[in-house]
Amino acid sequence: MPTAPPTTGVPVLVTSGGTGRRHSPSSVEELELELLLEALFQCHGYDFRGYERAVVSRKVQALRSRLGLHTISALQSRILHDQPSYNELLRALYVEPALMFDNALEISMLRLSLGVCLHGAALPRVWLADCAGAQQAWTLAILLDQEQLASRTEVYATVASDTMLDEARHASLPMANLGELQANYVRSGGVGKLIDYFDVHEDGTHAVLKPHLASRITWAQYNLVTDASFNEFQMILGHRALPDFGPQLRRRVLQLFDDSLAPFGMLALDRPLDDHDALSRHYKPLLAHQSWYKRVA
């Protein structure tokens, strides 16, 4: 009669010869991670299976530790039965939230490209794909205002979940953070006071973007992994989301951007296009050694 596997609580892989080999702890964690991502897809429809595993693992382990859970399997059970924990996982796996004017190089490229790509369009559209939160959209709206483009430019800011969509639509600026954000603004070439673009609440603790700027931002739920092109844009900013994507998903999203970009439009990526990529012939760098491109074909 075959001998039953030892009941040590450690997973055992049984070979055809009847001997057992224990998984290493890393193998167990990798399996748990795959099962978690599959559960997230099957139960909620959010597909992170094409993301870089090292990035996903780091974010999942950080959330597991923060929630005081001992295993990824425990986290899987939690997110399947507890809505707040599920929302926390989505936030953890999503693009890290941006602070206003937090990247001086990005702001300088935006200032340059807004004039190059948008002034010639009658009603230009800009897509913030997998937007890194309300403050990224506010930054763009302020720059458009400074370029005298805000009144005729529509910004489409898309996020992955309805919860994040609701948070972005109702976001406000904590006045306690104004000093840090003003410093970011000045470092990135801003002139004057950042607060001039906001209306401060009566209690003085929060502020909201002025209506003439907020009205130019259309927030929507959209999944880069599964959804199709939904409009034509003169500018697509996807450089904050792309670093998390694995090779196959990255190719899929780059094709989506290509399908959505107007002739002579501008595309912001996280790294230069590969010369062997079939799409590379459609684009020329806006500046040498930068991964911001103008479409030429």
- Asked if 103 contacts 130 with a C-beta cutoff of 8 angstroms, the reply is no
- Asked if 213 contacts 100 with a C-beta cutoff of 8 angstroms, the reply is no
281 to each of 144, 234, 260, how far by Cα in Å?
A: 29, 18, 16
- Residue 4 located in a structural domain: no
Same domain for 154 and 288?
A: yes
Same domain for 148 and 39?
A: no
Task: Give CA–CA dist 243/250, Å, rounded.
Answer: 9
Task: Give CA–CA dist 78/84, Å, rounded.
Answer: 9
Instruction: Please state the rounded mean pLDDT for residues 190-216.
Output: 97
pLDDT over 70 at 59, yes or no? yes
What percent of the chain lies above the pLDDT cut of 70? 91
Put the strands of the sheet holding 217-221 in their side by side order: 217-221, 154-159, 125-128, 233-237, 261-268, 292-295, 283-285
Same domain for 85 and 124?
A: no
Same domain for 52 and 121?
A: no
What is the identity of the amino acid at 27?
S
CB within 8 Å of 82: residues ≥ 6 apart:
none
b/e code 136-151 from CB counts within 10 Å (16+ = b): bbbbbbbbbbbeebbe
What is the identity of the amino acid at 76?
Q
Same domain for 80 and 191?
A: no
Quick: pLDDT tens for 154-178. Answer: 999 999 899 999 999 999 999 999 9
CB within 8 Å of 219: residues ≥ 6 apart:
137, 157, 158, 159, 165, 168, 169
pLDDT over 50 at 153, yes or no? yes
Quick: pLDDT tens for 115-148. Answer: 888 988 889 999 999 999 999 999 999 999 999 9
Same domain for 108 and 241?
A: yes
- Residue 189 located in a structural domain: yes
Task: Give CA–CA dist 185/297, Å, rounded.
Answer: 35
Same domain for 61 and 135?
A: no
Same domain for 63 and 133?
A: no
Task: Give CA–CA dist 131/296, Å, rounded.
Answer: 25
What is the identity of the amino acid at 4?
A
Domain count for the chain, please give it.
2
Which pLDDT score is estimated for 91? 92
Q: Model pTM?
A: 0.87
Which pLDDT score is estimated for 289? 82
Same domain for 166 and 218?
A: yes
Q: Print the domain residue range for 27.
A: 12-93
pLDDT over 70 at 107, yes or no? yes
- Residue 41 located in a structural domain: yes
Which pLDDT score is estimated for 192? 95
